[in-house]
Structure 1
């Protein structure tokens, strides 16, 4: 049956093509697994190592822990009538950063909870998911999250680099100058917590920097030219230990920042 080898090859090619499509959007797979409560698609697409860094559950390693985590997460989402809304994404060279609004019921009212998820494919069989958010919108508490990534060789450029240098120097005026006139900063606790325009930004940063500057130590970056997702460790802010965080820097058309959105549970020092 001379057709059989060709038929087998066609099936294998089809399988590889399907797997490549699934691997191209790992965050979508992850979110579907969390929402539907079924880890099967992740296990099929990533049969090697699967690691999850979650602010609430900690570190999840391997398929057995993944199944338990997804089951527990699905129960929590069902209990809080959660809905997921994707509001932005950046994908570069095997790493994707996706911004979400998770709509949940908390104390009898609906809350829009900003969450960011980074997926990094370590090889063709393995993947790592890292979630960043403040838990304040869903439990009213601030949870210090220790740093879990190593400082990496991440080169920041242009206005993002200038912004970070100004933060380290505690220079509120230079920070504000890195924004467009109508630029804004969004705090981690919700999309309504914005500081827009020169006056609001100056007031926010002056208060935030009253305890001095702090060092943003980059660990991993995803930058498509229009936006940059920077995973970093925040150090030297008051007496707090190094803390894990992610920021989205959205560039405007004039080389300045249109927006900075923070995803963290960073403990801010008393002024």
Structure 2
């Protein structure tokens, strides 16, 4: 039957095409699986290895652990009446970063909880998800988050590089000058410091004991927004910051996703 090989090839091409469509927005698929409590959408789109780095659950490897994690996470979300809202996204190559505002019920009141999720496709069948946030809004505690990635040869440029250099040097005034006049910093607990006076007060307090050395691990940069995954020493901890550039080349915003005390 000479048509059989062509038929088999057509089926495989159709499967790959369907998988490519499902993989086009990996974070959306991940959030849908978490919210619905159904891992099947991820298992279908990523039949290879799936790895999740979650601040509460730790490292999850493979589909069996993924099913348990999604089931437990769905129960937690239901108990806290969680609602998700996407507030920003960056996609470059095989990596996507989505910023969320998660509304949860904590101690009888609704709180806004900033969360960032990174999805990185390591090959056409496998994916890794890394979530960054502070757990303070949902349990009132600081949690030391061990490094998720190793610090590497990540090059930052322009105002992002200047910000990191002045942060390491503990120069609060120079940091403030890297922001637009109406620029703002969003802390992991959703507290916002906007404008020169508020930024100066925040950084003067944060850097009173000296500079903060940020060790870049990975960057997702589309030219306007740069999501930087990093480690900080003392003890080593993981975090993510999103730098939003303004039209004049200064920072319109810096949004932090970590549990690091400043």
CA RMSD of aligned residues (A): 1.3
Instruction: Say whether residues 1:260 and 2:254 are aligned partners.
Output: yes
Larger displacement relative to structure 2 (105-114 or 243-252): 105-114
Give the structure 1 partner of residue 243 of structure 2. 249
Equivalent runs, 1:116-127 vs 2, <5 Å: 116-127=116-127
CA–CA distance in structure 1, aligned partners of residues 151 and 25 of structure 2: 26
1:11 CA displacement:
3.4
Number of aligned residue pairs: 262
What are the superposed Cα offsets for residues 77-116 of structure 1, whole Å, 9 maximum, x if unpaired? Answer: 0111111111100000100010001111111111111000
CA contact (8 A) 1:143 1:267 kept: no
Give the structure 2 partner of residue 168 of structure 1. 168
Give the structure 1 partner of residue 203 of structure 2. 205
Equivalent runs, 1:98-247 vs 2, <5 Å: 98-190=98-190, 193-235=191-233, 240-247=234-241
What are the superposed Cα offsets for residues 114-158 of structure 1, whole Å, 9 maximum, x if unpaired? Answer: 000001111111111000000111111111112221011111000
CA–CA distance in structure 2, aligned partners of residues 166 and 20 of structure 1: 42
CA–CA distance in structure 2, aligned partners of residues 189 and 149 of structure 1: 23
Gaps of 5+ in 1: none
Gaps of 5+ in 2: none
Q: TM-score, normalised by structure 2?
A: 0.96
CA–CA distance in structure 1, aligned partners of residues 45 and 152 of structure 2: 27
Q: TM-score, normalised by structure 1?
A: 0.93
CA contact (8 A) 1:144 1:267 kept: no
